[in-house]
Structure 1
Amino acid sequence: MGVHDGHRDRMRKRFLENELNGFADHEALELLLYYAIPRGDVNPLAHALMDRFGSLSGVFSAPVELLAQVKGVGTQTAVLLRLVPQIAQRARLTDLERELALNTRARVGQYLLELFSRERNEAVYEICLDGKGKLLACRRLGEGSASAVNLDIRQIVQNAITFCASSVILAHNHPSGVALPSQADQGATLRAKAALESIDVRLEDHIIVADGEYVSFSESGYLG
């Protein structure tokens, strides 16, 4: 057993006894790197990743191609660093979907803040609900520009029909950090509302998420 093997065993023992309590961010990252790089000292690599991307969150949010540019990070390691937070997010979303009826603005907001937490570009989602606000489906409709989202009206209607929705909530994010709807957002939303009404489905809301906050079209009077 080499000196690095002993260090790895001590780190694992610390985790098993106290989980991540007492670990610095770079140490937590180092522990994860053990499972992609089975031999050697990965502490310098953990520091290099933190220096390059600024924080643990920055490392986990970085694209695979940028992670792989850091010396010592191969494709396998880069994929692991992208995979772990996305699996954790999926687990949290699954719990929210199972436990929460999305029948209040606060519950919808909680769900959407988690949903958009790892989106780097502007994206739009459609949430299909039953008559009691239970989630039937959440579908990513695509990406839009930083200034306005392009809503695929036909796809929105098709999803509502497919999942037998009683109501629909649309949502998109503003990576710029300003959660205010543009005129293009408002116009597209009203077109979606009219199309859904033609099949007797209610557009419950359109919500914009930005910088940990959200704005409701319904509460702001934009749905008419």
Structure 2
Amino acid sequence: MTKVPPLLHDLPEAEDERGFFADQPARRPKAKAERAPAPSPDRPAAEAHYHGHRDRLRARYRENGDTALADYELLELLLFRLIPRRDTKPIAKALLDRFGTLSGVLGAPIGLLTEVKGVGEAVALDLKLTATIAHRMLKSELKGKTVLSSWSQVIDYCHAAMAHETREQFRILFLDKRNALIADEVQQTGTVDHTPVYPREVVRRALELSATAIILVHNHPSGDPTPSRADIDMTKTIVETAKPLGVTVHDHIIIGREGHASLKGLRLM
């Protein structure tokens, strides 16, 4: 069973960036003529320099939408909520430097996210929650639709769900007689370059769901979606096992960070 990271309110304050300033000693009242001390990491200014920046960034987004903002600025907007009392621009840029793209940041495992300075477990968990919401949104767009006429949405969904996984996953989209999506299930999770697949189990599950067609999907953590000989042979075995039982295999899609490959499009099935 996958271990679920602790909820935010269960984390000790030392592990949560949002509690960073919680235990700072109260400041004594200033005398009228006393000058305000210079801000420091342990004594932030009442009006930190990034407050105005946050207001300006929010205003740009409100007035012009996401097209007015760079990727690191969109990530900043999200981090404002997660880390309210720190300058989040350096953290946003560090995340993009480490993982390359917004998709890479949201798709990264929690353990790798927390290796970036300024990102604790609570913030990493919230970033993953954002990714999960995005995946569910894409999946809801597919539910009940004729999948073969919404192919770009299928690819977008599979890419969002699998492209940045660090281990291979074998996923199946189960379709009814109208080729509408019945279910989407991860059947197996393997290593960085191999996932065991059992053709009889694939077909058995299709029959349990009364599916008349399936689409096979798996990812290549290396990033290169080029199908291997093992991918081609496994696909042919599933097609041969499913056909006598009235289950059609429409395609086998391989997802990589650099794109995707369709075995049907490549005439390999």
The answer to whether the superposition gives a TM-score over 0.5 is yes
Determine if the alignment matches structure 1 residue 155 to structure 2 residue 211. no
RMSD: 2.7
The match for 2:154 among 95, 101, 111 is 111
Of 120-129 and 201-210, more deviation after overlay is shown by 201-210
| Percent of aligned positions that are identical | 35
2:226 corresponds to which residue?
179
Larger radius of gyration: 2
The match for 1:44 among 90, 93, 116 is 90
Cα distance between partner residues in 2 of 1:72 and 1:93 = 32
Task: Tell me the CA shift for residue 54 of structure 1.
Answer: 3.7
Cα distance between partner residues in 2 of 1:218 and 1:27 = 38
Cα distance between partner residues in 1 of 2:193 and 2:83 = 42
Query: Which secondary structure state, in structure 1, belongs to the residue aligned with residue 245 of structure 2?
Result: coil
Assess, with a 3 A threshold, how the Cα gap between structure 1 residues 68 and 79 changes in structure 2: closer, same or farther: same
Task: Tell me the CA shift for residue 126 of structure 1.
Answer: 1.5
Determine if the alignment matches structure 1 residue 197 to structure 2 residue 240. no
Task: Tell me the CA shift for residue 32 of structure 1.
Answer: 0.9
Q: Counterparts in 2 of 1:109-148, with a 5 A limit?
A: 110-119=153-162, 120=165, 121-144=167-190
Structure 1: unaligned runs, 5 residues or longer: none
Of 171-180 and 11-20, more deviation after overlay is shown by 171-180
Query: Which secondary structure state, in structure 2, belongs to the residue aligned with residue 116 of structure 1?
Result: helix
Assess, with a 3 A threshold, how the Cα gap between structure 1 residues 123 and 26 changes in structure 2: closer, same or farther: same
Query: Which secondary structure state, in structure 2, belongs to the residue aligned with residue 131 of structure 1?
Result: coil
2:99 corresponds to which residue?
53
1:2 corresponds to which residue?
47
The match for 1:22 among 47, 68, 84 is 68
Cα distance between partner residues in 1 of 2:116 and 2:251 = 43
Instruction: Map Cα deviations across residues 66-87 of structure 1 (whole Å, 9 max, x no partner).
Output: 2112222111111122221331
Query: Which secondary structure state, in structure 2, belongs to the residue aligned with residue 59 of structure 1?
Result: helix
Equivalent pair of 2:174/2:214 in contact (CA under 8 Å): yes
Cα distance between partner residues in 2 of 1:103 and 1:56 = 28
Equivalent pair of 2:79/2:88 in contact (CA under 8 Å): yes
Residue-pair matches, total: 218
Equivalent pair of 1:130/1:136 in contact (CA under 8 Å): yes
- 1:101 corresponds to which letter in structure 2? T
Equivalent pair of 2:213/2:250 in contact (CA under 8 Å): yes
Instruction: Map Cα deviations across residues 136-195 of structure 1 (whole Å, 9 max, x no partner).
Output: 11211123456554322343123212211112222223344142341x333333332343
2:261 corresponds to which residue?
214
Query: Which secondary structure state, in structure 2, belongs to the residue aligned with residue 41 of structure 1?
Result: coil
Instruction: Map Cα deviations across residues 112-152 of structure 1 (whole Å, 9 max, x no partner).
Output: 34313342333222122112211111211123456554322
Instruction: Map Cα deviations across residues 80-112 of structure 1 (whole Å, 9 max, x no partner).
Output: 2222133113212221334x31235xx446403
Task: Tell me the CA shift for residue 33 of structure 1.
Answer: 0.7
Query: Which secondary structure state, in structure 2, belongs to the residue aligned with residue 39 of structure 1?
Result: coil
**TM-score, normalised relative to structure 1:** 0.81
Of 144-153 and 82-91, more deviation after overlay is shown by 144-153
Query: Which secondary structure state, in structure 1, belongs to the residue aligned with residue 134 of structure 2?
Result: helix
Task: Tell me the CA shift for residue 35 of structure 1.
Answer: 0.9
Determine if the alignment matches structure 1 residue 71 to structure 2 residue 117. yes
Structure 2: unaligned runs, 5 residues or longer: 1-45
Query: Which secondary structure state, in structure 2, belongs to the residue aligned with residue 21 of structure 1?
Result: helix
Equivalent pair of 2:225/2:260 in contact (CA under 8 Å): no
1:12 corresponds to which residue?
58
Task: Tell me the CA shift for residue 38 of structure 1.
Answer: 1.9
1:101 corresponds to which residue?
146
Equivalent pair of 1:113/1:213 in contact (CA under 8 Å): no
